[in-house]
Chain A
């Protein structure tokens, strides 16, 4: 348990840096590799701006909670056979709790500065984030069905014969919607959008903003590792050792998520809400029903 937690903590910063590099590729901003580090260092030196009558405690803690949720979510991912930081019989539910609390934390981040643009971002995000989270829970239940267990270790072991991405092809794309929502990017970024001057981060600068961005990257890493585990067979694979496979798959999902965030257009919140409830959620029900029929003895 402790070696696994250490390995995760060592692997996380380079992966977060890789995520920041993916975010920069093709944006024409230059300094692809050193840019994220330079920007982070510059943010550390800037002061944070005060707002009028904020909820100081939550404003201070929200970025830290976000990072903590990413770490807890990441901890249920098994690194190789029998090596997992949080070996829980209900690991998928713990991941779900992290998703749900992420919505709360992003809301608090926008609510606590007591300022209009962050507040609009916070409310919009809750409306979109909650159904996106429901969606992911149905998809994850479908991933747990062949394993007949809510333990993430069992979910990986059940994919020895066939990965879930082939057995239930709808799962990974739908889960990616949740990934875009909890990492606040692309078509699901209603919290920190540019049209709200940064949304929930509009009033932030300095170390608080740096930590918020770090937490977003950490959540992207956690989400990528989780989807690689639930749908792409996690540490399973021929030839290479388990952790190497997990790393490769995580980086691949990360790149795909960043690309999806750039590729898909963003809709007005009301239309997105209808789209989630009318199209995506029924698709996740269909996915669940198909898997149910398949595993029925």
Chain B
């Protein structure tokens, strides 16, 4: 039963991982990747790692949702339903893919993986917690803060050029006729008083 589940989930993970590169939309690619990760998470549950497995599903659902949203925002592909090519830099990608695959296969074959089943009363979640907040705390906290800084930095750098000029200049749309007053709502810079005074003069 467990073996059959493992095979089905592995096949699903590989198939949906392959589909990521064959579909023609950012949103579809993101959620195919999510399906792949969900299958991997369920395999982790089978491998007696319930916290890591379910937390993977949880995290990947959030991450892929955010990724789909940001990719659609930055790619200017309205709604992500317009067909587009999802692959680029073919030669480099093929080389990188083969290298990564070979490296991971070597790592799996060369490392000494434990085969004995876990005792029924083993408190795996507690052990994981002690590991994360004990010997491995520095590594995980450093990685976490670095990733957060990288994400914020990437968004700040890429979002600098706003829709109507620099985003730090205040986002004001162009006028309805050349050189005219900006269209739309005016930023409330001087407070409401001058505005009211202007209208009172009429």
Is B79 part of the contact surface with A, judged by Cβ < 8 Å? yes
User: Do B54 and A111 have beta carbons less than 8 Å apart?
Assistant: no
With a 10 A CB-CB cut-off, give which of B34, B58, B69 has the most chain A CB atoms.
B58
CB-defined contacts of A130 to chain B, threshold 8 Å: 62, 65-66
User: Do B58 and A97 have beta carbons less than 8 Å apart?
Assistant: yes
User: Do A89 and B80 have beta carbons less than 8 Å apart?
Assistant: no
**In whole Å, how far is B36's beta carbon from the nearest beta carbon of chain A?**
14
Interface residues of A in 116-154 (CB under 8 A from B): 119, 123, 126, 130, 133, 150
Is B31 part of the contact surface with A, judged by Cβ < 8 Å? yes
User: Do B54 and A123 have beta carbons less than 8 Å apart?
Assistant: no
**When A97-B57, A104-B31, A130-B66 are in contact, do A150 and B79 touch as well, CB less than 8 Å?**
no
**In whole Å, how far is A153's beta carbon from the nearest beta carbon of chain B?**
14
Is A107 part of the contact surface with B, judged by Cβ < 8 Å? yes
User: Do A104 and B81 have beta carbons less than 8 Å apart?
Assistant: no
CB-defined contacts of B55 to chain A, threshold 8 Å: 90, 93, 97
Is A100 part of the contact surface with B, judged by Cβ < 8 Å? yes
**In whole Å, how far is A69's beta carbon from the nearest beta carbon of chain B?**
10
**When A53-B81, A108-B31, A150-B51 are in contact, do A93 and B58 touch as well, CB less than 8 Å?**
yes
Interface residues of B in 43-102 (CB under 8 A from A): 50-51, 54-55, 57-59, 61-62, 64-66, 68-69, 79-81
Is A101 part of the contact surface with B, judged by Cβ < 8 Å? yes
CB-defined contacts of B79 to chain A, threshold 8 Å: 111, 114, 119
- How many pairs of residues, A versus B, come closer than 8 Å at their CB atoms? 60
With beta carbons under 8 angstroms apart, the residue of A89, A123, A126 that contacts B125 is: A89
**In whole Å, how far is A95's beta carbon from the nearest beta carbon of chain B?**
10
User: Do A100 and B125 have beta carbons less than 8 Å apart?
Assistant: no
Is B172 part of the contact surface with A, judged by Cβ < 8 Å? no
Residue on A nearest B28 in the bound complex, by CB:
A55
Is B20 part of the contact surface with A, judged by Cβ < 8 Å? no
CB-defined contacts of A111 to chain B, threshold 8 Å: 27, 79-81
Q: What DSSP secondary structure best describes chain B's contact surface?
A: helix
**In whole Å, how far is B167's beta carbon from the nearest beta carbon of chain A?**
16
Residue on B nearest A123 in the bound complex, by CB:
B69
How many positions in chain B have a CB within 8 Å of any CB in the partner chain?
Answer: 23
User: Do A90 and B61 have beta carbons less than 8 Å apart?
Assistant: no
How many positions in chain A have a CB within 8 Å of any CB in the partner chain?
Answer: 23
User: Do B65 and A89 have beta carbons less than 8 Å apart?
Assistant: no
CB-defined contacts of B54 to chain A, threshold 8 Å: 88, 90, 93-94, 97
User: Do B80 and A100 have beta carbons less than 8 Å apart?
Assistant: no
Residue on B nearest A108 in the bound complex, by CB:
B31
Known A55-B81, A104-B61, A130-B65; further 14 A-B contacts with Cβ < 8 A:
A53-B81, A89-B125, A93-B51, A103-B61, A103-B62, A103-B65, A104-B34, A104-B64, A107-B65, A107-B68, A111-B79, A111-B80, A114-B81, A119-B79
- Across the A-B interface, give the 8 residue pairs with the lowest CB-CB distance, nearest first: A100-B61, A97-B58, A97-B57, A93-B54, A90-B50, A101-B61, A114-B81, A90-B51
Chosen A-B contacts, 27 in total, with CB atoms closer than 8 Å, are A55-B28, A88-B50, A88-B54, A89-B124, A89-B125, A90-B51, A90-B55, A93-B54, A93-B55, A97-B55, A97-B58, A100-B57, A100-B58, A100-B59, A100-B65, A101-B61, A103-B62, A104-B31, A104-B65, A111-B79, A111-B80, A111-B81, A119-B79, A126-B65, A126-B69, A130-B62, A130-B65
Residues of B within 8 A of A (CB): 27-28, 31, 34, 50-51, 54-55, 57-59, 61-62, 64-66, 68-69, 79-81, 124-125
